[in-house]
Amino acid sequence: MPPIQAPLPLSTSRLQIIQQYIACLESANAQTIHRLKNYVARDIRLTTPVGDAHGVADFIAMIGGIHQSCGLLKMRVYDFAVGHDHDNMVLLKWDMQVQPAKKSFVIAGVSDLTFAIQADKIVHQQDIWNPLPLYAEGTPLFSWAASRARKKLGL
């Protein structure tokens, strides 16, 4: 598949932020996941197939929980595209290699990032991927997500 072309040239600073965020995602592990906070707004909103997060601490906890409960081995962003009329909308295409038990497999997904217009911080990230293969493998992802939801609701 050929790389997606940006319809408009990106500002140098926005391109650098995107590249740094991608590098941070690809190298993230339990000890370094907190570095993602350097690229997101204080009131970041994250939407995923297994739950939502609001605010930096909740964002880091959600991403970290997904990493841990999926047995994430490696994330690879292989392409990105920029919005047609402005560069504050970015789409990342990625795959993640997981090993929840003895079997390793790859899950493909996309992240739709929205940057603040006046600042180079991500204000919203919507992740789209299919978590069902992880459920079939018996990962703790769904029990973790349910526990997280109950805690947020005060149950």
Q: Where are the domains of the chain?
A: 12-153
**Residue 21's CB: how many other CB atoms inside 10 A?**
25
Look up residue 78 and give its two tokens.
């292989």
Its pTM surpasses 0.85: no
Phi and psi (nearest 5°) for 104? -100, 140
Number of helices and strands in the chain (H, E): 4, 6
Output the pLDDT for position 10.
59
Beta bridge partner(s), residue 94: 77, 109
Look up residue 94 and give its two tokens.
């990625």
Are 98 and 134 within 8 A, CB to CB?
A: yes
Are 125 and 47 within 8 A, CB to CB?
A: yes
Are 85 and 92 within 8 A, CB to CB?
A: no
pLDDT of 2 above 50: no
Q: In this prediction, what percent of the chain has a pLDDT beyond 90? A: 38
Burial degree of 1 (CB within 10 A; 0-12, 13-18, 19+): exposed
Phi and psi (nearest 5°) for 122? -80, 125
Output the pLDDT for position 85.
62
Distance between CA 71 and CA 45 in Å, rounded? 24
> Structurally, what CATH architecture does the domain formed by 12-153 represent?
Roll (3.10)
Distance between CA 81 and CA 57 in Å, rounded? 27
Output the pLDDT for position 1.
43
140-148 mean pLDDT: 75
91-99 mean pLDDT: 90
